[in-house]
Structure 1
Amino acid sequence: MEAHPSHAELSHVLPKYPKTAGSLLQTYNDLKLAQQWEALEVLDVPSCARGAVKGRRPNTEDTLFVVPCSLAESLNISWFHQAFHDLGKPPHVYLAINADDSNIVYYKLSPGIVKPAV
């Protein structure tokens, strides 16, 4: 993993959370290379024992937060509350669920009950 070009941007978080390092690397590279997000920053989220990614979609001004996880992980409501708290209580967070075959599904999570757009 150290030979990968993205390792330098992730090196301050990867050694702290080896169980979630693969999900973080995969998500970071998808956002940077495939989706071409701008101003990417890797954040440490110690209460969730992982790193997260902060950045913007191309040609937008909104800062978004993405928390990677594995499809095999079990998450709970208190975990989500901690993630929102540690990230500064943004209006929503994207959960990047990584599968073993390198697929990533992004879910938009909002705190509380939110009425869907019509």
Structure 2
Amino acid sequence: MEAHPSYQALAHVVPKYPRAAGSLFQAYNDILLVQKWSDVKVVDLPNVSRAAITGRKPKTDAILHVVPCSLAETLSFGWLKTAFTLLSDPLEIYLAITSDDASLVYYKISRGIVKPQV
């Protein structure tokens, strides 16, 4: 991981959260290199023991928040509430759920009850 060009952007948080490092590395590279988001930043979330990724999808102005985690992890509502708070209470965050086979799935989590789009 340390030899990869994107590691420099992650170097300030990877040593702090080694259990979340793989998920962060995989999601960061997907967002930056595959999805080609702009204004990508890594944000330290110490109370949930990991970092998040913020940025903008192509051709959009909205800043999105992505919290990487592993499929093997157990998350709680309290954990999600803390993540929302640390990210300054956005309307939604995306969980980037990674697995051992390099699969990556994004789930949009909204605060409260949100009516689905028709």
TM-score, normalised on structure 1?
0.98
Deviations 1:21-60 (A, max 9, x none): 0000000000011100111000001111001000000111
3-state SS, counterpart of residue 15 of structure 2: helix
3-state SS, counterpart of residue 15 of structure 1: coil
**Aligned equivalent of 1:49:** 49
- Aligned ranges for residues 30-109 of structure 1 at < 5 Å? 30-109=30-109
The total of aligned residue pairs comes to 118
Q: Which consecutive residues of structure 1, in runs of 5 or more, have no partner in the other structure? A: none
Structure 1 segments, 4+ long, off by >3 Å, are: none
The alignment yields a C-alpha RMSD, in angstroms, of 0.5
Q: Which amino acid aligns with 2:82?
A: Q
TM-score, normalised on structure 2?
0.98
Q: Could you tell me the percent identity over the aligned residues?
A: 55
Distance 1:110 1:59 in 2: 22
Distance 1:110 1:28 in 2: 21
Q: Which amino acid aligns with 1:92?
A: E
